[in-house]
Amino acid sequence: MTTTTAQAQISADPSVPVIRITRDFAATPAQLMKAHLDPALYARWVGPTDTSTRIEYWDATRGGKWRFTGVHDGAEYGFFGSFHDIGDARIVQTFTWEDQPEGVSLETLWFEDLGDGRTRLHGQSLVDSFEGRDAWLASGMEVGVNDGYAKLDQLLADGEV
């Protein structure tokens, strides 16, 4: 088993309600795109370590919808959205937690090729208010982000992506 100490850099923009995430991976942009777009792979790494993910539907095409359920200690949490654009190294989608349907986030991910099999993931989540942004940050999202990316690191190291 490979262990990693890499942590995502998560920051709040002071002038607009945006959360930014940056993290480096030992992977190519194509591998990271696959990990984010293939529902079977996505379900294996997204979210906190003690949460399992069940994909309800997943159409990773422009205009396609997705929904998944996270399960933790018997409780279920639904998330849904739609893919707005998918490029060679860029994904634009919406993201909504069903318990807060008014809190839709517009997310843009892009993958910067650093060479030598390394890629920097850049993520930007735009929400409708500073209060909403701050609630996301206070929700413990960094645990889900960092746990999930550590699981993705392991899938990459094991050659499964």
CA atoms within 13 A on the CB side of 42: 18
Can you give the pLDDT at residue 5?
57
Contact (CB, 8 A) for 51 and 72: yes
60-95 pLDDT, tens digit per residue, is: 999 999 999 999 999 999 999 999 999 999 999 999
| Architecture label for domain 9-157 | 2-Layer Sandwich (3.30)
Mean pLDDT estimate for the chain: 94
Q: Is the pTM of this model over 0.75?
A: yes
What single-letter amino acid sits at 31? Q
Pairing between β-strand 90-97 and β-strand 105-115 as defined by DSSP bridges: antiparallel
Helix (H, G, I), strand (E, B), or coil: what is residue 117?
coil
Q: What pLDDT is stored for residue 3 in this prediction?
A: 43
- The domains of the chain are located at 9-157
Measured CA distances, 141 to 4, 38, 69, 156 (Å): 19, 22, 16, 22
